[in-house]
Amino acid sequence: MAATKRIRRALISVFHKEGLDEILKKLHEEGVSLISTGGTRTFIQSLGLPCDAVEDLTGYPSILGGRVKTLHPNVFGGILARRENETDQSQLAEYNIPEIDLVIVDLYPFEETVASGAEEQAIIEKIDIGGISLIRAAAKNFKDVVIVASKDQYSPLYQLLEEKGAETTIVDRKWFAKEAFAVSSGYDTAIFNYFDERDGSVFRVAVNEKKHLRYGENPHQNADFYGKFEAMFDQIHGKEISYNNLLDIDAAIGLIDEFEETTFAILKHNNACGIASRPAILDAWKDALAGDPVSAFGGILVSNAIINKEVAEEINKIFFEVIIAPDYDTDALDVLMQKKNRIILIRKQSKTCPVQFRSLLNGVLVQQKDLSIQTAADLEPITNKKPDAREIEDLLFANKLVKHSKSNAITLVKNKQLCASGIGQTSRVDALKQAIEKAKSFEFDLNGAVMASDAFFPFPDCVEIASKEGITAVVQPGGSVNDALSVDYCNNHGVAMVKTGVRHFKH
């Protein structure tokens, strides 16, 4: 068994005191001397426990409005002194510095202050100096000192005291040091990102919240989710959310956020297989399902409207994995909860990160999210025929869908309903042919439908095929050296074409 070291003296200076009282009582029972500052010392004394003041140890009061309290050799010497180092020990004796074996400290709430919208000076004052220095010092000397750097470690410390008294092993102390460096590195990352103002001068990300998933993209892959899922959703029913569920939920939120009108969408493998906008939520659901009732099996459902019982009863007729909505009527939940594994999420009002990053090779790709949303004013007609009002609505609808579809992508839309899409193809012609075949398989009449492409047409072959199927309007970014060929064909066959100047590749 590893040799233990006894905690004889503890320095405590914290903001979060919930759960600390039992730890303090336990330390006192074990004969541990306590040192503290300001409000924490008052709290300790209110429990009837003796506690020395840091000012008595340092010989200096708290100065500069509290900026300097613990920054003193009598504090840091007691923490950093190596117990088996003769020189260190002789210097402690020479300067009458007591050893400190346990440090319990937390940090000013920097991230919370930034999130509150506080003014810059208030934010700057929440950059901790003494606390972060105590954490680093105690964690560095983990061979002799226990460091508790967050209220999240109160419970493990109390459990340790319950099981071992005031004795700790090197394994115990190293674990607490590891947790402490996680706290300090995350804190410094938050401060850097505030000063960097998302300029991306270097890549720094730190997320403390970790959720272990059943497995990754496939059962043989391990996976974790780092993030605050509960800040965005309330899961009110269903099984544990998986890696693939998370990918689909992210895609569903990105898509539905494009629409203000009542809209229902069905996604499969991150792509919409059905979506429609309608005045009534029930009609939006029925027309979304009609887009591809086969692929809807096992899909992800998302709506920007409250789900009522009538809609829930229709939805309940198919098997699906997840449903997301801003809320549900009580009697609708009675219907939807009939299947125990069905994941039901209520979406909260929350912000999402405006940047994306993914690992590849030996590095990380970082980019701004594609937040560009085209309006009617962004559609530049480039053919003799101009799209009418209905076609403009459908072109904008189709353009939103193609933006959220895997490239190469084509979407076919009629009356604000997805007729079909061709996605993830190696050629744009193949994507279009796939979409047409799929639309026909579900008996959609493409006469009067519109087409959107996520990138320009290098040749006029796509508009030729589309025109022959009765498609009357096309939206695409433009920019090909052969744009004129596609425009000429449209002019000769009565097809309206508009360009946006914005490409929407998605891999």
Q: How far apart are alpha carbons 486 and 453 in whole angstroms?
A: 13
461 to 349, 381, 434, 448, 467: CA distances (angstroms): 44, 20, 14, 19, 10
- Alpha carbon distance 66, 205 (integer Å): 30
Question: What sign results for the dihedral spanned by CA atoms 43, 44, 48, 50?
Answer: negative
d(C-alpha 398, C-alpha 472), whole Å: 13
Catalytic residue (one of 17, 25, 140, 385): 140
CB 247 within 8 A of CB 270: yes
321's enclosing H/E stretch is: strand 320-325
Catalytic site residue 269? yes
Give the angle 58-96-135 at the CA atoms, nearest 5°.
Answer: 55
Two tokens, residue 442: 């579900």
CA distance 50 to 34: 7
**Strand positions, DSSP E, 116-177:** 146-148, 167-169
Query: Is 275 strand, coil or helix?
Result: strand
The single residue of 269, 339, 386, 440 carrying the catalytic annotation is: 269
* Cα–Cα distance measured from residue 305 to residue 281, given in angstroms and rounded to the nearest whole number: 7
* Catalytic residue flag (residue 140): yes
Say if residues 198 and 355 touch (Cβ distance below 8 Å): yes
How many C-beta atoms surround the C-beta of residue 461 within 10 A? 16
- Give the span between the Cα atoms of 237 and 234, in whole angstroms: 9
Angle, alpha carbons 323-505-293 (nearest 5°): 35
Which residues are annotated as catalytic? 140, 269
